[in-house]
Amino acid sequence: MVDYLESRAASDKGMARSVPDSIAATLAVLESAGQVSEENSISMDSFWKSTVAAWKTALESGAPPKVQAEATPVSVIIATELFVMDTLEPRFLRAIAWLYLVMHWATLRIDDVANIDPARLTLSEVCLKGILTKTKTTGPGRRTREVPFFVSRSCSFAGCDWIQAGFDVWSSEEYSFHRDFFVMKSSRRFDAPLKKPMLGDALVAHIRQVLSRLRVLTRPTATEGWRMLKESRPLVHTAFSTWFKGHGPRHWLPSVAAVLGAPKADRDVLGRWAVDAHQSNDYVLTARLIVLRTQAHVVRMLSAPPHSSEGEANDFNYDEVELLEKLQAWAAGCGLEPDSVEGFKSLIKSSQGKWSLMQQGPQTAPLDDEGNICFDEEADAELPVAAHPERERKMVEQASPFWVSVARSSGFRRLHRTGCCPIRRENCWGSMSVYEIKPGIADAACKDCQRKGAMTAEPTEDSSSSSGSSSSDEDEQVGITDGQVSAPPPNAAEGTSSGSTTVMMN
């Protein structure tokens, strides 16, 4: 056996790091099946064990580092959501894009996708639920025969119900034929499915085909949301196609959840690593609640991080700085320009040092009777820096002195003062930051802010000469009047002047 190891190492193909352990394990099984006594067993011999350990050390010392699949940029996930919703794209590629998103949120491997039971894939008002008939550690003949996966309906950064759109494709008559596999092959034009199973390598190739069709994202305003214009340049350059590997989606959600403070016990449930630690029925009952809670937490934190209370540190912060640096290094190695990576940037750093999409979220969460988003934690909601002109880009680095809430049904706009209004901005259906109040910026002013005297601001150099202190009667009537607008710039220091300027708008 020792000579066999040496001959394997001296062969033209060489010997991989895992070969010594594999040979030792195979030998142990053969001797156990042949009922070889311990004193005659080669696998139990100390010389054999030390030889295997020595070969492992020698092979690992000269081997290249293990390459792991990198995380998917958030911008790619947003663009894929929009791709699923685009009915002008080939229907089969939209189905593959939907599957690619499900792999991220359900923590699936490429091999897991092939074992989704198409007959038991269901969609409710709360979540998507599927059954994996076989995985790397579960399946027929094992302790756990099958496991479920869940994707919350609130898992969206683009504000669209991509889960419903993709599910409609997979549940259509053309795609829901009886079969014992999930992913099927397609026609050359990606317009119709074929009744033949698709292998894992082919699925990765189709995912890369979807990525090549994505375009750079834009977001004109926070209320309009993300857009992917056809005339924009590609988001994923062809040189980046091999960057996205089939195992990447498996890593994404647990990695982000870990950075954002999700406990390890919950993260083990995401990837079904804890399935053998529970009885199967107990796992099914608890996994759904844990998975949906963790998914909602990730969407909420990446959309807009919560404010830290005074004196309280909040270290939960996910950024893509290191990921973008790796992408830039990859681009340089491929001879691409540095700006080829700019399209991947979607997370914005706030004045508190927190990275997020600076948007209302979760976008597809249930709404209450007044149209407000139902979630608890506070969140910033600024426009992305990339969507601002240069002048406003500098403004967004500081907190806006005012903001405007937008009603869902009527579109009514109400002006509020930042920091002293009882209305929570993240609970509003839509909102806008206001740095300079101009005529027509809102339809009314908040009465609570007026009663507190919050609708006054320090005058600018331009307004101090023409505006004086307002009387108490005038302060109570601040709102939509036919007066002249006057408000401080974002960098105006508080308490620098004894006079105050009443905020009025047309």
Taking the C-alpha atoms of residue 216 and residue 230, their distance in angstroms, rounded to an integer, is 9
Residue 57 corresponds to which tokens in the numbers above?
A: 């050390």
150-172: burial string, b at 16+ Cβ within 10 Å, e else: bbbbbbbbbbbbbbebbbebbee
- Is residue 243 located within the same domain as residue 155? yes
Taking the C-alpha atoms of residue 490 and residue 496, their distance in angstroms, rounded to an integer, is 14
Q: Which residues contact 293 (CB under 8 A, 6 or more apart)?
A: 266
Across the range 106-132, mean pLDDT stands at 91
Taking the C-alpha atoms of residue 28 and residue 48, their distance in angstroms, rounded to an integer, is 12
Quick check: 356 and 299 in contact, CB under 8 A? no
Reply yes or no on whether the pLDDT at 151 is more than 90.
yes
Q: Which residues contact 375 (CB under 8 A, 6 or more apart)?
A: 296, 300, 362, 365, 426
Q: Other C-beta atoms within 10 Å of 325: how many?
A: 11
Reply yes or no on whether the pLDDT at 447 is more than 90.
no
Helix H segments across 115-247? 162-170, 200-212
pLDDT in the model for residue 174: 92
Whether 128 maps to a domain, the answer reads yes
Q: Is 177 or 482 the better-scoring residue by pLDDT? A: 177
Whether 166 maps to a domain, the answer reads yes
Distant-in-sequence contacts of 189-197, Cβ < 8 A, 24+ apart: 189/90, 190/90, 190/91, 190/92, 190/93, 191/90, 191/91, 191/92, 192/91, 192/92, 193/92, 193/95, 197/114
426 pLDDT band, cuts 50/70/90, is low
Whether 19 maps to a domain, the answer reads yes
Whether 14 maps to a domain, the answer reads yes
- Is residue 35 located within the same domain as residue 137? no
Reply yes or no on whether the pLDDT at 99 is more than 70.
yes
- Is residue 79 located within the same domain as residue 222? yes
Q: Which of 50-59, 194-203, 329-338, 445-454 has the lowest average pLDDT?
A: 445-454
What is the number of structural domains in the chain? 2
- Is residue 168 located within the same domain as residue 93? yes
Reply yes or no on whether the pLDDT at 431 is more than 70.
no
pLDDT in the model for residue 102: 96
- Is residue 153 located within the same domain as residue 231? yes
Reply yes or no on whether the pLDDT at 281 is more than 70.
no
pLDDT in the model for residue 284: 54
Backbone region of residue 203 per phi and psi (left: phi > 0; alpha: psi in -120 to 50; beta: other values): alpha
Q: Other C-beta atoms within 10 Å of 469: how many?
A: 13
Q: Identify the H or E element spanning 256.
A: helix 248-259
Place of tokens 């699923």: 84
- Is residue 231 located within the same domain as residue 93? yes
429 pLDDT band, cuts 50/70/90, is low
Whether 334 maps to a domain, the answer reads no
Last residue of a domain, one of 214, 234, 250: 250
Whether 493 maps to a domain, the answer reads no
Question: Phi and psi of 410, rounded to 5°?
Answer: -95, -20
Whether 393 maps to a domain, the answer reads no
| pTM for this prediction | 0.63
- Is residue 82 located within the same domain as residue 122? yes
Whether 93 maps to a domain, the answer reads yes
Quick check: 489 and 436 in contact, CB under 8 A? yes
- Is residue 145 located within the same domain as residue 234? yes
pLDDT in the model for residue 135: 81
Q: What percent of the chain has pLDDT over 90?
A: 24
- Is residue 170 located within the same domain as residue 57? no
Last residue of a domain, one of 36, 61, 86: 61
Domain enclosing residue 53, as ranges: 2-61
- Is residue 115 located within the same domain as residue 239? yes
Residue 106 corresponds to which tokens in the numbers above?
A: 């359900």
pLDDT in the model for residue 247: 82
- Is residue 57 located within the same domain as residue 94? no
- Is residue 179 located within the same domain as residue 246? yes
Q: What is the mean pLDDT of the chain?
A: 75
361 pLDDT band, cuts 50/70/90, is low
Last residue of a domain, one of 209, 227, 250: 250
Residues 218-248: pLDDT tens digits?
886 655 678 888 778 889 888 887 888 888 8
Q: What is the SS3 assignment for 291-334?
A: HHHHHHHHHHHHHCCCCCCCCCCCCCCCCCHHHHHHHHHHHHHC
